[in-house]
Amino acid sequence: MADKYTKEPPVIAAIDIGTTFTGYAFKFASNDTIYCAVNQTELRVPTCVLLNPDKTLRAFGKDAVEKYEAVMSSAEQKSHFYFRNFKMSLYKPESGDVKVKISDERGKDMDALEVFKIALAHMKNKILQDIKTRRYFDTPMMDEEIQWIITVPAMWSDFSRNFMRHAAESAGFVSEKTRLVLEPEAASAFVRSQKIVIKGNASGALEKGHRYIIADLGGGTIDICAHEILDKGRVIEINRPCGDYGGGTVIDQEFFSFLVKLFGGEVFEMFKTGNRLKFFDLLRDFENKKSTFSKSTDEVVIDLGGLIHLYQQKEKESTSEMLERSLYGNKVRMHENKTHMYLSNRTMKEFFEKSRSAIIKNMKEIVEESKKKEQAHSVHFVSWWAFRIALHKGMYQRRIRGKTTSRLCGRR
Ligand X SMILES: Nc1ncnc2c1ncn2[C@@H]1O[C@H](COP(=O)(O)OP(=O)(O)OP(=O)(O)O)[C@@H](O)[C@H]1O
Residues 397, 399: Cα–Cα separation, whole Å: 6
Instruction: Determine phi and psi for 83, rounding to 5 degrees.
Output: -120, 130
**Partner residues linked to 49 by β-bridges:** 60, 83
Instruction: Find the shortest distance in angstroms from Cβ 224 to Mg ion.
Output: 13
Q: Which does 241 bind (CB under 5 to 8 A by kind): ligand X, Mg ion, none?
A: none
Q: Which does 19 bind (CB under 5 to 8 A by kind): Mg ion, ligand X, none?
A: ligand X
Residues 68, 50: Cα–Cα separation, whole Å: 7
Instruction: Establish how many alpha carbons lie within 13 A of residue 295's alpha carbon, considering only the half-sphere containing its beta carbon.
Output: 5
- Give the residue with the Cβ less far from Mg ion, 93 or 220: 220
Instruction: Find the shortest distance in angstroms from Cβ 14 to Mg ion.
Output: 12
Instruction: Find the shortest distance in angstroms from Cβ 25 to Mg ion.
Output: 13
Instruction: Determine phi and psi for 209, rounding to 5 degrees.
Output: 90, -10
Instruction: Establish how many alpha carbons lie within 13 A of residue 96's alpha carbon, considering only the half-sphere containing its beta carbon.
Output: 0
Q: Which does 333 bind (CB under 5 to 8 A by kind): Mg ion, ligand X, none?
A: none
Instruction: Find the shortest distance in angstroms from Cβ 387 to ligand X.
Output: 10
Residues 343, 349: Cα–Cα separation, whole Å: 10
Q: Which does 87 bind (CB under 5 to 8 A by kind): Mg ion, ligand X, none?
A: ligand X
Instruction: Find the shortest distance in angstroms from Cβ 224 to ligand X.
Output: 12
- Give the residue with the Cβ less far from Mg ion, 250 or 259: 250
- Give the residue with the Cβ less far from Mg ion, 87 or 126: 87
Q: Applying CB under 6 A, which residues contact ligand X?
A: 18-21, 87, 183, 218-221, 247-249, 287, 290-291, 383-385, 411-412
- Give the residue with the Cβ less far from ligand X, 127 or 382: 382
Instruction: Find the shortest distance in angstroms from Cβ 142 to Mg ion.
Output: 30
Q: Give the helix ranges, DSSP H, for 33-85.
A: 62-72
First vs last Cα of the chain: how many Å apart? 47
Q: Which does 184 bind (CB under 5 to 8 A by kind): ligand X, Mg ion, none?
A: none
DSSP 8-state secondary structure symbol assigned to residue 330? G
Q: Which does 248 bind (CB under 5 to 8 A by kind): Mg ion, ligand X, none?
A: ligand X
CB atoms within 10 A of CB 239: 18
Report helix, strand or coil for 171: coil
Q: Which does 239 bind (CB under 5 to 8 A by kind): ligand X, Mg ion, none?
A: none
Instruction: Find the shortest distance in angstroms from Cβ 301 to Mg ion.
Output: 29
- Give the residue with the Cβ less far from ligand X, 58 or 290: 290
- Give the residue with the Cβ less far from Mg ion, 183 or 228: 183
Contact 280, 52 (CB under 8 A): no
Instruction: Determine phi and psi for 347, rounding to 5 degrees.
Output: -65, -45
Q: Which does 247 bind (CB under 5 to 8 A by kind): Mg ion, ligand X, none?
A: ligand X
CB atoms within 10 A of CB 394: 10
- Give the residue with the Cβ less far from Mg ion, 190 or 342: 190
Instruction: Find the shortest distance in angstroms from Cβ 151 to ligand X.
Output: 8
> How many residues are recorded in the chain?
412
Instruction: Determine phi and psi for 81, rounding to 5 degrees.
Output: -115, 130
Instruction: Find the shortest distance in angstroms from Cβ 348 to ligand X.
Output: 11
Pairing of β 332-334 and β 235-245: unpaired
Q: Looking at beta carbons, which residue is closest to Mg ion?
A: 218
**Partner residues linked to 217 by β-bridges:** 222
- Give the residue with the Cβ less far from ligand X, 218 or 241: 218
Q: Give the helix ranges, DSSP H, for 134-210.
A: 158-170, 183-192
Q: Which residues, 6+ apart, have CB-to-CB distance to 35 below 8 Å?
A: 25, 26, 27, 130, 134
- Give the residue with the Cβ less far from ligand X, 89 or 221: 221
Q: Applying CB under 5 A, which residues contact Mg ion?
A: 18, 218
Q: Which does 305 bind (CB under 5 to 8 A by kind): ligand X, Mg ion, none?
A: none
